[in-house]
Amino acid sequence: MKYIMVTGGVMSGLGKGITSASIGRLLVDMGYKVIPIKIDPYINIDAGTMNPFQHGEVYVLKDGTEVDLDLGHYERFIGIELTGEHNITTGKIYRNVIEKERKGEYLGQTVQIIPHITDEIKSWIRRVAKNSGAEICLVEIGGTVGDIEGMPFLEAIRQMKNEEKPEDFLLVHVTLVPLDSSGEQKTKPTQHSVKELRSIGLQPDVIVGRCKRKLEEGTKKKISLFCDVPIEAVISAEDAFDIYEVPLMFKEEKLDDYIISKLKLEKREANDEWEKMVNKLRNLEKEITIAVVGKYIDVQDSYLSIREALKHAGIEAGCKVKINWIDSGDLEKTSKVEIDADGILVPGGFGKRGAEGKMKAIEFARENDIPFLGICFGFQLAIIEFARHVIGWSDANSSELAETEHAVIDLLPEQKGVDKMGGTMRLGDIEVTIKQNTIAHKLYNKEKVFERHRHRYEVNPEFIPEFEKHGLVFSGYSDNGRRMEIFEYPKNKFFFGTQFHPEFKSRPYSPSPPFLGFVKSALGVDL
């Protein structure tokens, strides 16, 4: 097994996830099987309870594990479906060690960071790598070198480097190369970051310099000299017009050749699927505007998969997708809503704040026949809006938001009385049955699909006949028809909602069907 470890220095948010995903893409294009692992040093067991304002999007894997958004990058770039085994957190590691200690598995030893915690980390990485059947295991260590919470993971990596053959281990360090006031590229932050790495016994094999513009030859030479890496291993990662260009930038820098040489891998002919996709993205001429109405728009990474899925659909449909971010809280203060866009999307979310503003946007889309896509909570709010303004139940609501006679969104009987924040959550891949002769069937061209879920409340079965009487079609369902998964409103050209999150399965070369249908409709193209 070959291991590629990716660390970061100077500051967070430099793009370790994109770097890792891009390296994975280069190797996949050459026919290598790559398995990624993301290490998050926070003590949380997973990302499920984290505030999107602080941490960005909570990404859901096929087994229902809630994880950091970087695993979404891995799935989109590498073209793989991951599980919770591919996300290691401090919380998971310490939980495992404490459970073993309580069972007496350490035979009375004093349980310590070294060797017990570090052994658990190494064991987890090697187990996942072996069970995957992959040739290369790509491990991203979250945070920055020097963070106290990341030290056990870096120590485990140091031990692994000594335990593996030199040709089976590669360390990539991502650092910042800022510009000073006169525009000169400064290498001192990189030097200090590498010094910190060396102080714990790790020497990078590759340094990826994040910078505004391409690394100059003199800058590369200086980093090479002071950080003790060959100049061909100093890789420029300047700002790209789009993240999907990064693998091609790395290829231009010959990072793929260096990795192949260092790990003594066979040089294989690379396919050009990714390059063709990026060229298509670069040359899109048409443009549409999609209004995304949410409550986390100040941190747009909260809707990262939504943004990417719209982009994927645009590539396939042949248009750029410009996003107009609209704060649903602002719409609540407006008496008359006017949204200038080719399509309106209301994404998932939880809670009362901003819900009425989102429903105003949905009403505007329905009444003006503007293409609309509602996802998860957006799906539920569209049901409520329809009940209020088409059926005429002015008190219609979700029991999550208010007590009402017309709780058109509610917990199912077996969910009531269970811990709402945990026991009633539906997570991960669930089979959805799609009715024939519907827009949903036209989009998917299948009768059975698996889509990822992250929600608690459902369309109340008691009111379904009344919705159907007024023209709303429930075209997808699960759980033998007890749970509604897709609605569509044939009176409009595209008024569509999904209880699941189709954005999590969208790929740059294989867009999500609901997103593709939505973007095509916004573009004025027949489905």
Active site residues: 376, 501, 503
Spatial distance between the Cα atoms of 32 and 259, rounded to a whole number of angstroms: 12
Q: Whole-angstrom Cα distance, residue 163 to residue 160?
A: 5
- Partners of residue 234 on adjacent β-strands: 207
Identify any residues that bridge with 207 across adjacent strands, giving them in sequence order. 173, 234
Q: Taking a C-beta distance cutoff of 8 angstroms, is the pair 371, 365 a contact?
A: yes
CA distance 469 to 52: 38
- Render 45-79 in DSSP notation, one character per residue: SSSTT--HHHH---EE-TTS-EE-THHHHHIIIII
Whether omega for the bond prior to residue 115 falls within 30 degrees of 0, making it cis, is yes
Those residues whose C-beta lies under 8 Å from the C-beta of residue 199, and which sit 6 or more positions away, are none
DSSP assignment of 82-138: --GGGEEEHHHHHHHHHHHHHTTTTTTPPP-IIIIIHHHHHHHHHHHHHHHT-SEEE
Contact between residue 346 and residue 296 where contact means Cβ atoms under 8 Å apart: no
- Report angle CA 140, 146, 151 to the nearest 5 degrees: 65
